[in-house]
Amino acid sequence: MTDFGPDDTAEMVAHIFNQLVALEDVTKKENIDCELRVTRSFDIYFDEVHACEMKEFVLAHKADPWAEHMRWIDAPESDQITGVKNTKGAISVPAVSLWPYKLVTALLARVLELGGKLYTQTCVEKVEEFADYTTLTTSRGELKASKTIFATNAYTAALLPQFEGVITPFKGQNSHLAPVSSFTPAKKLDHTYNLHFNPRYANYLNPRPDNGIILGGAKWTYEGKIDRNEWWNSTDDTTLINDAATEHFNSVMETHFQGWENAKAYHDAIWTGIMGETPDALPHIGKVPGSSNQWLLAGFNGAGMMLIFTASQGVARMIVKDVDYEDTGLPRLFKSTSERLAVKNSGFF
């Protein structure tokens, strides 16, 4: 397993904060409307013991440069500031909120304007690497590329078999909650949230400008309660995991948020998505170990929104400017190595 140290923590936190700035910069530079808001995120703790542990952690590191933007909020002030009920404390950090699909499609449109080509509904069926190029056999024919990037996250092992058991696909469930049209919140939710019910399980919540809520998580409703094959090592996102997750989502706003008791904020959309888990909970970024002309960005453990944008910039520097991973500014622990490939997933975070 990978050893974590203070310097590694500082690198990873800096990487996340750099991404906030980079996302804001690119939306302004390219004039992209993706509903980006500069805001703060609150990690909310409902368990007293867990809250005490997190408070001790924050206070122990308050003098560290990487923690300068992190704030601990004691209860009951955490209720007042966050709008969440019955909290035991909260951590506040800077964040951005945006509509990812709008950002990605706008950037793709810009790539096409610059002469790039986009092939949708085109499966890569076979990958063969040679000394100076990689051949990709696809459903539309064969491509030869001097440099190939696998931005394939959970699906990486299908094309790079050495990642079998290293990046494992797993299914998560998400929802859009829509309050009744007559509902007007007394206090508009302007922040994003992670609702920690205990040290293992949490929901993630992102308010929309129209008072809709994007809410995901509820893993405790199925982990250890249904056949693991229904969600672990699965790439089937056409079915829901279970109804218990949906029922939980429908209860969250009424149960936990002040002023939402009569909002009837129930789901009008439920879906699943496939994420990629790694044994050390860190992504694999950089040159594919043992390869001369292949790179990857994959295995983000459900936290890709915090990491991918600046990670892709680092890989671009490796390819365009021919720099080594160590010269990209990316965190040391994110580098894909043969040593990391030797450790396989157990199936539990």
pLDDT at 243: 95
Q: Quick check: is 228 in a domain?
A: yes
Other CB atoms within a 10 A radius of the CB of residue 35 amount to 13
1 pLDDT more than 90: no
pLDDT at 2: 53
Q: Quick check: is 185 in a domain?
A: yes
pLDDT at 6: 84
In terms of domains, do 48 and 89 share one?
yes
CATH number at residue 138: 3.50.50.60
Q: Quick check: is 295 in a domain?
A: yes
Q: Which residues pair with 126 in a beta bridge?
A: 137
In terms of domains, do 189 and 250 share one?
yes
Report the helix count and the strand count for the chain, using DSSP H and E. 7, 14
Q: Which residues pair with 134 in a beta bridge?
A: 129, 145
pLDDT at 95: 95
Three-class SS of residue 233?
Answer: coil
Q: Quick check: is 111 in a domain?
A: yes
In terms of domains, do 256 and 269 share one?
yes
Shortest CA distance to 257 belongs to which of 180, 178, 181, 188?
Answer: 188
336 pLDDT more than 70: yes
For the stretch 222-233, pLDDT in tens is 999 999 999 999
What percent of the chain has a predicted confidence (pLDDT) above 90? 93
For the stretch 242-256, pLDDT in tens is 999 999 999 999 999
Separation between Cα atoms, residue 227 and residue 200, nearest integer Å: 19
8 pLDDT more than 70: yes
Q: How many alpha carbons fall within 13 Å on the CB side of residue 219?
A: 21
pLDDT at 328: 96
Contact 122, 139 (CB under 8 A): yes
pLDDT at 345: 81
Q: Quick check: is 17 in a domain?
A: no
DSSP state of 232: B
pLDDT at 91: 98
What is the layout of strands, in order, in the sheet containing 284-287? 148-150, 294-298, 284-287
pLDDT at 3: 63
Separation between Cα atoms, residue 134 and residue 89, nearest integer Å: 52
In terms of domains, do 224 and 138 share one?
no
In terms of domains, do 262 and 185 share one?
yes
Separation between Cα atoms, residue 224 and residue 232, nearest integer Å: 11
Write the DSSP assignment of 313-349 as a string of letters: HHHHHHHHS---GGGTT--GGGB--HHHHT----S--
Which of 277, 300, 320 is the C-terminal boundary of a domain? 277
Q: Which domain holds residue 314?
A: 102-167+280-341
pLDDT at 349: 47
In terms of domains, do 187 and 272 share one?
yes
How far does Cα 150 stand from its chain's mean position? 17
Which of 229, 256, 277 is the C-terminal boundary of a domain? 277
CATH number at residue 46: 3.30.9.10
For the stretch 111-123, pLDDT in tens is 999 999 999 999 9
pLDDT band with cut points at 50, 70 and 90 for residue 188: confident
The three-state (H, E, C) secondary structure of 68-106, written as one string: CCCEEEECCHHHHHHCECCCCEEEEEEEEECCHHHHHHH
Structural domain count of the chain: 2
For the stretch 25-36, pLDDT in tens is 999 999 999 999
**Encoding tokens for residue 346?**
């157990």
pLDDT band with cut points at 50, 70 and 90 for residue 86: very high
In terms of domains, do 133 and 242 share one?
no
As a whole number, mean pLDDT of residues 70-87 equals: 97
Which of 277, 293, 312 is the C-terminal boundary of a domain? 277
Shortest CA distance to 99 belongs to which of 195, 209, 238, 174?
Answer: 209
Q: Which residues pair with 257 in a beta bridge?
A: 84
pLDDT at 5: 82
For the stretch 266-320, pLDDT in tens is 999 999 999 999 999 999 999 999 999 999 999 999 999 999 999 999 999 999 9
In terms of domains, do 288 and 252 share one?
no
In terms of domains, do 245 and 120 share one?
no
For the stretch 89-98, pLDDT in tens is 999 999 999 9
In terms of domains, do 226 and 292 share one?
no
In terms of domains, do 83 and 159 share one?
no
In terms of domains, do 135 and 163 share one?
yes
